A and B are shown apart, each in its own frame.
Chain A
């Protein structure tokens, strides 16, 4: 933290402690005015002597440095979050609490894990956050424990009541809730912005995800393409539709969800619907898998009969159902499943000599 605020930033902070009396007028603009004034004064006094020039150059240099330093707050952090609330952060936050696993992962993926001081009880990746205090769930956080950590920013989901309460206690809150591939990209950009990182950092992480998605998509053998998939997110059964980010990823991998987007992203289905849709492949978490074959009518489904079921252990299921920066990893898991479980389709049967 000390290294971070060395040089320019330190002087900026010293300046910003005194209240700048002209809100809206940036330091850089003042520097230009001042520089012009200096030039005018020089012309008036007719001073074109050798003595004057180095002094003026030095002054310009100083002012330019000041201007660059002072324009940091203008560049920095003003962000409209998913609640539609515009949050202004004075300086890039250094003590961050994240109350949503995908946001925890986003911060860490941007290489700023060390700025996290606390997380919610569901955040479990990366391993380096293992020692951070757990502050309750995102919906029922322990407000006192959050405040005790003296965070300068709390990241959380839009649906929690904690945002209002924390804001009332004078803590900066940014609510972001990624729900689609596009959201993941946007949240990466927003979090990078909030952290005071250059835009390129967010873009780089996104590019990495995008590239990996492309590569994985290419690696899917033609025989595994075109499969219809039933992805169950929780027993109910709630499934991921074509409109969810899971559906989007399946589409990228050349498959499709059997649940149409018109039913909403994660609709609760009538089990009969799945039997009728008769998917090629079933993807399901470990805890929901038990008793799958015993559901009425399900034993007769092709995917169940032919054991085209991918059962993901909890750690993998976490990756799959979080719209966060580990989507490439999720795509890899799905691709692996499709490669083994998707049926060979007659249209792309390998040709022999």
Chain B
């Protein structure tokens, strides 16, 4: 068996393993919550218990997996697109944009009943999504397109910092919004329902399909931009499409679950530590890893101090960061940095 074929083989096994683990966790997730297993036993004859299992636990469990998968995918796209192992889904300013969107929505809620009634249709979720998209568009405008990786990267960082500061300014000027903002920043899957799952599933399907189709560009880019261009790849439109994939995946996840740290950054690294493969497979595996990671973290967040709940974003940051650090040092001991 050639090394490439062996890697493919390994990737397939990894994917199967991750899917099986996710399915197992999904089943576990249906049983974990503030009312414990009781809701499962009574689901057949008690309408409320059934509602808890079917309309609260299942969608939030699936939602955690979907959001994690979106972030994992976006992370892999970002790292491939920028050829930078530190790139994460929030690199183009979407996190700060989403925060600013939420902050503005919260302020407008308080200002006028008219705005409130208009906004309650849009919701904080809609505001976050629009904010994330606007931030990416602003980044693209400031970078004047996607031709220069470095310019795009810098514009993203600048937009992120500036919009983040504006968001803080808004909360500072209207301190009543401070706690609500904090709740958004910590990230939670507690408010995810079936419609949110549907939206995320749609976004994930679209993004995965696009990313798979565009993956040869990322493979070409690993050899450098000049080489990629000499291979005959129309870089600009393809990159724009990849930025679109990244923005959509991140925006969809952030809008539904708030800011969840580290899943997007860690997932591609975790995959690479197991198998070296092409970008198409990497993105797929990274999505599966991200989903499994966030799902596991979400179940832990629900179970750890039950019946209370930890914000899952806090948990992913601590656990994800710790695991990545361990991986890095283990890697250095054996064969240098991963």
A residues in contact (CB < 8 Å) with B: 82-85, 136-137, 139-145, 147-148, 150, 158-165, 168-170, 177, 179, 236, 238, 264-268
Contacts and interface: CB of A to CB of B under 8 A. Distances in A.
A144 B303 CA distance: 13
B61 to A, nearest CB: 11
21 contacts: A84-B114, A84-B116, A85-B120, A140-B183, A140-B188, A142-B190, A144-B52, A145-B307, A147-B48, A147-B56, A148-B34, A148-B48, A148-B52, A158-B116, A160-B180, A160-B183, A164-B120, A169-B55, A169-B56, A264-B173, A268-B175
A136 B310 CA distance: 10
Contacts of A238: 175
Contact of A161 (B35, B56, B124, B311): B124
A184 to B, nearest CB: 16
B198 to A, nearest CB: 12
A179 B109 CA distance: 13
Contacts of B175: 236, 238, 266-268
Interface in B179-196: 179-180, 182-184, 186, 188, 190-191, 193, 195
Contact of B109 (A158, A169, A264, A266): A158
A277 to B, nearest CB: 19
Interface string B92-114: 00000000000000100110011
Find the residue from B39, B125, B175, B182 having the highest chain A CB count within 10 A. Answer: B175
Contacts of A168: 193, 195
Contacts of B125: 161, 164
B85 interface: no
B64 to A, nearest CB: 14
Contact of B308 (A142, A161, A163, A267): A142
B56 A144 contact: yes
A164 B34 contact: no
B191 A162 contact: yes
A165 B56 CA distance: 10
A150 B51 CA distance: 10
A228 to B, nearest CB: 22
A141 B183 CA distance: 10
A83 B106 CA distance: 11
Contact of B183 (A83, A139, A145, A267): A139
Contact of B34 (A137, A144, A158, A161): A144
Given A136-B309, A147-B51, A83 B117 contact: yes
B114 A144 contact: no
Contacts of A236: 175
A232 to B, nearest CB: 12
Contacts of B51: 147, 169-170
Contacts of B117: 83-85
Nearest to A157: B180
Contacts of B120: 83-85, 163-164
B244 interface: no
Interface in B1-50: 33-35, 39, 48-49
Q: Which of A142, A144, A170, A266 has the most CB of B within 10 A?
A: A144
B174 interface: yes
B57 interface: yes
Closest 7 CB pairs of A and B: A84-B117, A139-B183, A145-B34, A159-B180, A165-B191, A84-B113, A144-B33
Nearest to A265: B176
Given A139-B183, A142-B190, A264 B56 contact: no
A16 B228 CA distance: 72
A267 B178 CA distance: 12
A145 B35 contact: yes
Given A148-B35, A158-B116, A159-B177, A165 B193 contact: yes
- Most A Cβ at <10 Å: residue of B114, B176, B179, B191: B191
A114 B116 CA distance: 32
A163 B182 CA distance: 17
Contact of A148 (B39, B123, B124, B179): B39
A144 B35 CA distance: 7
A83 B116 contact: yes
Given A148-B52, A158-B109, A268-B175, A143 B191 contact: yes
B124 A144 contact: no
A142 B309 contact: yes
Contacts of B199: none
Given A159-B177, A169-B51, A238-B175, A82 B311 contact: no
Contacts of A84: 113-114, 116-117, 120
B106 A161 contact: no
Contacts of B308: 136, 142
